Structure 1
């Protein structure tokens, strides 16, 4: 049983999981997920601390609010804001930290403050190697550096999709939750309220908006493909955009073919779930030296080894994508070249150059892995202080 539960909106579980893993590096017993009806009442008293990652989606999610109100009632709640001011008003009485994940230096300070609040409710294990040292020696502690980098990378790895303004729904949610809190709802009645939609009963149906807006084919840029996880891109394709993607792919557009590749792999709306069809699209786009398709060929071979892409072909395409400065490929190829400390020194040095390029381009995984390379790799300085600018 975990002492710390990290809650997030449906669709943002990956962020919560990465954040929980970061807390585990510091000695917390942490788990994560999107609260749901089946476990909200059961787990109401299990966690010593409930950390809610507040975003616009979380503020409009009934089960997140239900989980938060139970934690607030038990004085177990800590708020972490992924977007400034996202915490609904009824929960602002609990500790609240605006993490500012896109500001590296400020994030480090805010993360440390957040850890302090969590520690008050759920003290960590006594393992001295996982406890932060004194303030003056903090930069020498590997677990702390890893935790900060991993937490920030988790929050940035899956950017919140563009949303239309949804001020009314969160405000009505906050007001409804406040009323329920004042009335002293127990867990059972709270679950019933969430199930019935009472939290949002005052919001007109026309105001509702999907958490992830569908992407039109023409609006997906190469930057989107480089900076957004492929599963997120695929999950936001609707039937209309699927037809446009297919049409453009048939005309030979390499970017559309790359998108069709991951759409077939993920079984996106309008696409047959087929690794073979995905390979055909990746092959067509890779033949045009499309960096996204070259990288997705590598992804496809790992996710569906039976797709028909030979591992050597996938690795060669990964290297080509890295040469084209496709940042996800630079990170993955670096880890292929130097998967551990036993890799040849030349390979470790090449991996460092690739990770530096990805880090300087702003890739969160690149920054995290390059910080580790600077601290641990025998081809690098092995200096924790050198890693700090990339955390």
Structure 2
């Protein structure tokens, strides 16, 4: 499963695609809804991927603040503690999200050299580190004496069941 999930309004597809590509270069797996398998329902696949993601980025734009999908995905991520808001246009986020500091990618053209993008990379890394500890704690109850869990907690993420 993907580590990162990008929530965006359809009108912002180009920005979502540039961001997904840039984040992949940093070694993360990224999911956004361009990857819906044939024969599957959009809402089911999105719910599965949203629940599995270790970090969810919501791209706030004029269109996104009015999108029920983006707001609902952002709320789900916020409740799970894996939410990273990203401003891609000068807008006021929806109620419930206005007091949460957002990464600033307004005017970002996809380049790796951008102050807001540099900070976003650091912020994602922090969410993933926090999420890893939470995941280890949840799994610990099922695998108390697991050597795999011990290796994972030391940093070997490949060994986690």
Using a 3 Å threshold, how does the CA distance of structure 1 residues 81 and 41 change in structure 2: closer, same or farther? same
Q: Which residue of 2 aligns with 1:52?
A: 58
Does structure 2 retain, via aligned residues, the 8 Å contact 1:4–1:122? no
CA distance in 2, matches of 1:84, 1:109: 17
Q: Which residue of 2 aligns with 1:27?
A: 27
Does structure 2 retain, via aligned residues, the 8 Å contact 1:97–1:114? yes
Higher helix share: 1
Secondary structure of the 1:56 match is coil
Q: Among 36, 39, 43, which residue is 2:49 paired with?
A: 43
Q: Among 85, 88, 99, which residue is 1:79 paired with?
A: 85
- Name stretches of at least 5 consecutive residues in structure 2 with no aligned partner: 37-41, 130-161
Does structure 2 retain, via aligned residues, the 8 Å contact 1:6–1:31? yes
- Structure 2 residue 2 is the aligned partner of structure 1 residue 5: no
State the superposition RMSD in angstroms. Answer: 2.7
Give me the TM-score of the superposition, normalised by structure 1: 0.29
Give the deviation of 1:12 after TM superposition: 2.5
Does structure 1 retain, via aligned residues, the 8 Å contact 2:5–2:50? no
C-alpha offsets along residues 333-372 of structure 1, whole Å, 9 cap, x if unaligned?
A: xxxxxxxxxxxxxxxxxxxxxxxxxxxxxxxxxxxxxxxx
CA distance in 1, matches of 2:110, 2:12: 21
Give me the TM-score of the superposition, normalised by structure 2: 0.65
Secondary structure of the 2:11 match is coil
CA distance in 2, matches of 1:14, 1:43: 20
Secondary structure of the 1:121 match is helix
Listed as ranges, the matches of 1:1-391 within 5 Å are 1-33=1-33, 36-101=42-107, 108-122=114-128
Secondary structure of the 1:101 match is coil
Give the deviation of 1:104 after TM superposition: 9.7
Give the deviation of 1:23 after TM superposition: 0.5
Aligned residues: 122
Point out which structure has higher relative CO (alpha carbons under 8 A, 6+ apart).
2
CA distance in 2, matches of 1:88, 1:94: 11
